[in-house]
Amino acid sequence: MEEIRIRGRAVSRGIAIGPARPMAGAEQAVAAAKIKKKAIPDEQQRFLQAVRHCAAWLRARIEESTGQRADILVTHLAMVEDPYLEQLVLRHIEEERDNAENALMRAVETIAGRLAALPDEVFRQRADDLYDEGRRLLRCLRQGDIAGEEMASGTGALVLARQIPPSSAALMDGETVWGLATEFGTATSHTAILARGLGIPAVVGAQGMMAGVREGDMVIIDGLRGEVVLRPGKKALQDAEDSRRHFLQQQKLLQKLAGLPAQTTDGHTVALLANIGLAGECEGALARGAEGVGLFRTEFLYMETGQPPGEERQYTAYTAAARRMQGRPLTVRTVDAGADKPLPGYVMPVEDNPALGLRGVRLSLADPQFFKIQLRAVLRTATLGNVRLMYPMVSQVEELDACDALLRECAQELQQEGLGPVAIPPQGIMIETPAAVWTAETLAKKAEFFSIGTNDLTQYILAVDRGNPNMQYLYNHCHPAVLWAISHVVQAAHAKGRRVAVCGEMAADPKAALLLVGLGVDELSMGADSILGVKQAIRGVSYKKAQALAQKALAAESATKVEALLRDEGLSHK
């Protein structure tokens, strides 16, 4: 059969070449079945038994796992034991007289449907996770056990699937799985995060691929270009081998930088930290020389189940990250919900303009009891590690005052409950609104550090929706207006002796990162797989040159001109 090329999206860098192992879809239709009234208690017990069985199976897998694999399985355990799911299933059995299988699938549909309808990729991924667990529970209900759950492994192969459930991905390793390609999925899906952590090249969104592949076919997964080649011809194979060799050589060279400082040729040093969403990403970050976590996006935790996590669940997640970072800073950002990230199981007002509405710290402060759960968990973690607390979407100093007051109230409560002396961790804010930029002098009196969220700052300064595909031509963090804002924030912070980080995507772009260095930013925080590339760029210039470049960029007329400037200097930001 002839060679077939399918475009997709590269989500984990590298090139894999080898035999295909297609994964069959696990979905099976559930025949509608109703039960008699007297069978309700038995049917409910049958469901509860399946939950216990599945949970025990997952716990056993967690025991034998570490890192990301363990974290993902913990997330899945929380889904299986979600009290909201249980409540819905038991209610369907009782009120609708559904058998346990139907009640389960209807409940999963309800919760996952709500998640899938939300605009944010992270929620859609949570819906996939939930379907995945629903299927596992279903198999358990039908068979009474879940034997044979593990991915068939054998020797190395490239796994191709419509979709790889994260719990299956969590059981993979780089020795038996050389590459991953799926027809669906996103860059922020657990499976993609896991592939990056394991260094497995991966492509998602390769639609139509499954129709053309057979077990054992030779396949190329190009995680650099975002392409899957089925049954490559001689030339395609040779090209893939060449770029694979080149990529590995580059990686080897870059890896040598892991232990070196991000220092310019004239001795100016910048700290490089990692952005994480799961505690299990810490190992990968440390391996790439991350000096700490500059942004722990806690939203992931809030999306595990149909309900926000309690204090214990949060404490477990934060301490897991703190332990892994071994005394390096761990910056926990309080939940940044609202706008395009509503919280499952948490009722929020319907707003005409949610991006300008109750989001980030505004939402947290609107519900102090809810907010305090997170603050208590962070305070308890701070007794064990080098924790920093960061508030998103701040637009006035009173918000910081209110956060500080609540934090101190929590510390007092914990002390009264017998935790012993509770230290208040450093409190910083994200600079994401023009209001925060232009009142940075005032904010710097109280906030102990700043972290500029260029993703949101760009959207609010340019009045361009960051998620609107029609607006991408205008959405550009190199716009001089954004650069001026950053410059102002750095000066205001430094005047008060505060450090400034950037944790938006701009920091992960090696060329734009040089502008940030030139503007005087002290720390850059980014996805771990960008750290070494950014470090290489920083080590290749003098601070003097970066500063001159930044000054030229500030004086440029437009984002296009800034891009041209980076190009002329042999630097292109895209």
Q: Of all helices (H) and strands (E), which one includes residue 404?
A: helix 397-414
Using CB under 6 A, pick the residue from 308, 385, 504, 510 that binds ligand PEP: 504
455 touching ligand PEP, by CB under 6 A: yes
Pairing of strands 15-22, 9-12: unpaired
Instruction: Find the DSSP H helices in 256-348.
Output: 282-287, 299-302, 311-325
297 touching ligand PEP, by CB under 6 A: yes
Using CB under 5 A, pick the residue from 98, 133, 291, 456 that binds Mg ion: 456
Cβ nearer to Mg ion, comparing 160 with 361: 361
Q: Among residues 171, 74, 11, which one has the least CA distance to residue 527?
A: 11
Look at the block and give the residue holding tokens 């940075």.
440
Is 478 marked active-site?
A: no
Cβ nearer to ligand PEP, comparing 340 with 569: 340
Q: Are 436 and 422 in contact (CB under 8 A)?
A: no
Pairing of strands 202-204, 15-22: unpaired
Three-class secondary structure of residue 221 per DSSP: strand
The one catalytic residue in 140, 282, 410, 503 is 503
Is 53 marked active-site?
A: no
| # residues near Mg ion by CB under 5 A | 2
Pick from ligand PEP, Mg ion, none: which does 222 bind, CB < 5 to 8 A by kind?
none
Radius of gyration of the chain (CA): 25
Using CB under 6 A, pick the residue from 454, 476, 530, 547 that binds ligand PEP: 454
Pick from Mg ion, ligand PEP, none: which does 503 bind, CB < 5 to 8 A by kind?
ligand PEP
Diameter of the chain measured on Cα atoms? 81
User: What six digits make up the tokens of 542?
Assistant: 């003098």
Length of the chain equals 574
Pick from Mg ion, ligand PEP, none: which does 82 bind, CB < 5 to 8 A by kind?
none
132 touching ligand PEP, by CB under 6 A: no
Cβ nearer to Mg ion, comparing 205 with 453: 453
The CA dihedral of 82, 84, 85, 86, to the nearest 10 degrees, is 90
Q: Closest separation between CB of residue 431 and ligand PEP, Å? A: 9
Using CB under 6 A, pick the residue from 503, 549, 556, 571 that binds ligand PEP: 503
14 touching ligand PEP, by CB under 6 A: no
Q: Closest separation between CB of residue 285 and ligand PEP, Å? A: 16
Q: Of all helices (H) and strands (E), which one includes residue 524?
A: strand 523-527
336 touching ligand PEP, by CB under 6 A: yes
N-to-C CA span, the chain: 37
Q: Closest separation between CB of residue 379 and ligand PEP, Å? A: 23
Pick from ligand PEP, Mg ion, none: which does 297 bind, CB < 5 to 8 A by kind?
ligand PEP
In angstroms, how far is CA 558 from the centroid of its own chain?
A: 31
Look at the block and give the residue holding tokens 């800034």.
562
Q: Closest separation between CB of residue 351 and ligand PEP, Å? A: 17
Q: Closest separation between CB of residue 293 and ligand PEP, Å? A: 13
Q: Of all helices (H) and strands (E), which one includes residue 219?
A: strand 218-222
Q: Closest separation between CB of residue 126 and Mg ion, Å? A: 19
| # residues near ligand PEP by CB under 6 A | 10
Stretch that binds ligand PEP, among 260-268, 343-351, 449-457, 551-559 (CB under 6 A): 449-457
- For residue 338, the 8-state DSSP code is B
In whole angstroms, give the CA distance from residue 356 to residue 339: 8
In whole angstroms, give the CA distance from residue 463 to residue 107: 39
Pairing of strands 293-297, 269-276: parallel
User: What six digits make up the tokens of 507?
Assistant: 């920091």
CB atoms within 10 A of CB 187: 16
Q: Closest separation between CB of residue 522 and ligand PEP, Å? A: 16
509 touching ligand PEP, by CB under 6 A: no
453 touching Mg ion, by CB under 5 A: yes
User: What six digits make up the tokens of 167?
Assistant: 């719990």
Cβ nearer to Mg ion, comparing 319 with 458: 458
Cβ-proximal residue to Mg ion, closest one:
456
The one catalytic residue in 76, 92, 190, 477 is 190
Cβ nearer to ligand PEP, comparing 186 with 263: 186
Cβ nearer to ligand PEP, comparing 128 with 336: 336
Q: Which of residues 377-436 bind ligand PEP (CB under 6 A)?
A: 432
505 touching Mg ion, by CB under 5 A: no
CB atoms within 10 A of CB 7: 13
Q: Are 141 and 46 in contact (CB under 8 A)?
A: yes
Residues making contact with ligand PEP (CB under 6 A): 295, 297, 336, 432, 453-456, 503-504
Which positions touch Mg ion (CB under 5 A)? 453, 456
Question: Which residues are known to be catalytic?
Answer: 190, 503
